[in-house]
Amino acid sequence: MPVEVGAGQCRVAQKMFESDVASKALGIESLELSPGHAVASMVVGETMVNGQGITHGGFVFTLADTAFAMACNGYDSPAVAARADIRFLTSTCLGETLIAEAVERARYGRNGIYDVTVRRGDDVIAEFRGDSRVIGRAKATPEDRT
């Protein structure tokens, strides 16, 4: 369930997360949410472990992608991923709790760049970078004309 934020803030992100069947099925939870910033968590379950006995990278990517989506939708303008990649630094195992923190690095016109750090406790396990693109109607700014 999304965390509470100030009245009128992050409506698009909250609605998106509430309707996100994939993230809910994985047990992903929203811990923090503000424009350009989000924190989400997930416990590695039995169906998330690969043949090597470690967390399948696709699930780590999905957690990071969920935090990214929430952060870039925090401005109440619907946004989608234009590109994303991840670097896996170490592995995790069944039962471990993963925390993904998304931070906005740049926002210009309809575009944004976000970094997501995925941790297990104090250990960084992956670094994700995503580019967002606002879709539909957004509030016009001078940067939108470029």
Q: Tell me: the pLDDT tens digits for 48-89?
A: 999 999 999 999 999 999 999 999 998 878 999 999 999 999
* Residue 146 pLDDT: 43
Query: Taking Cα atoms as reference points, which of 125, 116, 127, 138 lies closest to residue 91?
Result: 125
* Residue 76 pLDDT: 78
* Residue 3 pLDDT: 52
What's the predicted TM-score (pTM) here? 0.86
Ranges of each domain in the chain: 11-137
- Arithmetic mean of pLDDT, 119-136: 95
For the chain, give the mean pLDDT: 89
* Residue 13 pLDDT: 87
- Give Cα separations from 44 to 57, 68, 73, 96 (angstroms): 11, 19, 25, 5
pLDDT (tens digit, 9 = 90+) per residue, 85-115?
A: 999 999 999 999 999 999 999 999 999 999 9
Q: What fold is seen in the domain 11-137?
A: Thiol Ester Dehydrase; Chain A (3.10.129)
pLDDT bracket for residue 36 (50, 70, 90): very high
